[in-house]
């Protein structure tokens, strides 16, 4: 299967993509919260995936982790500026955190028991960390970061279990998760339309580059 | 159906004295663009000082299912390792 086929499948809605990203960003605080939480969640998965048995993915992950780490730090920097800024800024930061906390937890996929491909992927070592392990790791590293900002943890039930050293936390709304995954998220349609437009608008340029390369080739022969 | 740009294999030299190492592949319409794309993808953080690009189609590779006939013959030629000469301890490592 060629790359063009894969992109066609994606643009036509036949292929799955990380549609759990499809939540709206309303203001500047959201830019901080997305970078910090969503990319922070992505890193937890991606660090583990550097050891995936699928070589091309493992190799690419090394560079991807460096990029994602950039986003997470930039996001947290924005959150710090806002949390330590005026009351209005702090309220915006809290609001962004409240809305994006749950989607960030969903990033790790459904609980193990409901995950369709997990067992097979773990057996083949394509996947090396379960959804729940990743989520726990994310919660454990993020709650102290929230506390540093002086913001409230959106999950009122979240608390540190002194025995295990891990935070106990509430589940996000999994029915919402499966709905977003099916393409019914708040931004799925918009984002797919934007991808299609960019792809269509750039077609003449991609074809032009190839036509130019072929012409040079003929001239050289 | 869109036509794929050809695939290029990318080799980067990290510093003088080292050989170019294969780091991955990418699609590009021609060699010049492959070099530019490789610069952007593979040397974002000072990883390289020289780039080679080679069209993947131009590489001749050994076939995985011919691994045995290809490489087994060297297995029983242990005499190719210089471990059969006794060098006295007094001489030190050689």
CATH of the domain at B16: 3.10.20.520
A220 touches chain B (CB under 8 A): no
Q: Cα A220 to the chain's mean position, in Å?
A: 46
Q: Is residue B93 part of a domain?
A: no
- Chunk chain A into consecutive blocks of 10 residues (it has 221) and report each block's average pLDDT, rounded to whole numbers: 89 83 89 95 92 90 90 96 98 97 92 82 90 96 97 96 96 88 81 94 94 91 85
User: Does B2 reside within a domain?
Assistant: no
B44 neighbourhood in chain A, CB within 8 Å:
63, 66
Residues of A in contact with B27 (CB under 8 A): 3
Q: Cβ contact (<8 Å) for B2 and A66?
A: no
Q: Residue holding tokens 């000082």?
A: B49
- Give strand ranges (E) for chain A: 159-161, 166-168
The number of domains in chain B is 1
pLDDT at B1: 46
Partners of A65 on chain B (C-beta within 8 Å) are none
The Cα–Cα gap between B37 and B50 comes to 13
From residue A130, alpha-carbon distances to A30, A122, A167, B9, B92 in Å are 28, 8, 17, 33, 52
Mean pLDDT across chain B: 91
Tell me the shortest Cα–Cα distance from A61 to chain B, in angstroms. 12
Q: Do A216 and B30 touch (CB under 8 A)?
A: yes
Asked whether the beta carbons of A167 and A143 are under 8 A apart, the reply is yes
pLDDT tens, position by position, A112-171: 887 778 888 889 999 889 999 999 999 999 999 999 999 999 999 999 999 999 999 999
Residue A166 CB neighbours (<10 A): 13
Interatomic CA distance for residues A48 and A136, integer angstroms? 14
**Whether A60 and B24 lie within 8 Å, measured CB to CB:** yes
For residue B58, what pLDDT is reported?
A: 97
The reply to whether CATH 1.10.10.10 applies to domain A22-158 is no
**Whether A203 contacts chain B with CB within 8 A:** yes
Nearest chain A residue to B26, by CA? A3
């Amino acid at each position: 299967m060629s790359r063009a086929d894969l992109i066609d499948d994606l643009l036509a809605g036949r292929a799955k993509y990380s549609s759990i990203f499809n939540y709206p960003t309303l203001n500047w605080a959201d830019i901080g919260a997305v970078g910090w939480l969503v990319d922070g969640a992505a890193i937890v998965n991606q660090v583990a995936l550097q050891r995936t048995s699928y070589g091309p993915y493992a190799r690419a992950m090394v560079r991807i982790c460096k990029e994602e780490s950039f986003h997470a730090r930039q996001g947290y920097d924005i959150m710090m500026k806002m949390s330590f800024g005026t009351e209005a800024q702090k309220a915006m930061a809290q609001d962004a955190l409240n809305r994006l906390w749950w989607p960030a937890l969903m990033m790790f996929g459904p609980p193990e028991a409901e995950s369709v491909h997990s067992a097979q992927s773990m057996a083949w070592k394509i996947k090396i960390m379960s959804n729940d392990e990743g989520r726990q790791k994310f919660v454990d590293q993020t709650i102290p970061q929230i506390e540093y900002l002086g913001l409230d943890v959106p999950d009122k039930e979240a608390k540190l279990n002194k025995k295990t050293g891990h935070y106990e936390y509430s589940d996000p709304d999994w029915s919402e998760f499966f709905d977003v995954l099916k393409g019914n998220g708040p931004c799925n349609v918009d984002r797919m339309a934007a991808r299609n437009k960019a792809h269509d608008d750039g077609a003449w340029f991609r074809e032009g580059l190839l036509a130019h390369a072929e012409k040079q080739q003929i001239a050289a022969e | 159906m869109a036509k794929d740009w050809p695939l290029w294999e990318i080799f980067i030299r990290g510093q003088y004295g080292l050989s170019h190492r294969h780091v991955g592949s990418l699609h590009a319409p021609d060699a010049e663009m492959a070099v530019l794309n490789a610069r952007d993808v593979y040397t974002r953080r000072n990883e390289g000082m020289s780039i080679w690009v080679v069209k993947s189609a131009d590489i001749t590779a050994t076939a995985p299912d011919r691994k045995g006939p290809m490489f087994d013959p060297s297995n029983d030629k242990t005499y190719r390792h210089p471990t059969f000469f006794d060098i006295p301890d007094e001489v030190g490592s050689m």
